[in-house]
Amino acid sequence: MSPTVEQAIELYKMCQNLTQMYSSINLVTIDDRTRNLYILAGEGLEILINIYGEVTIV
């Protein structure tokens, strides 16, 4: 399954910001059920990007 255009744009922005802070990106995946995109980075940082490109940091 591919991300939406909005998700892809936000994914790019988040990956750029994380690498500028020298934070490792451990996992990027899409939940087939909800189509939400998940990023696991650094020491337990969880980022959720919904299908509309809205970002939630947990």
The per-residue pLDDT for 51 is 97
The per-residue pLDDT for 53 is 97
Partners of 28 in the β-ladder = 39
CA distance 42 to 35: 23
The per-residue pLDDT for 1 is 84
Helix, strand and coil content of the chain, in percent to the nearest 5, comes to 30, 35, 40
The per-residue pLDDT for 26 is 97
List the chain domain ranges.
5-57
pLDDT digit string, tens, across residues 1-56? 899 999 999 999 999 999 999 999 999 999 999 999 999 999 999 999 999 999 99
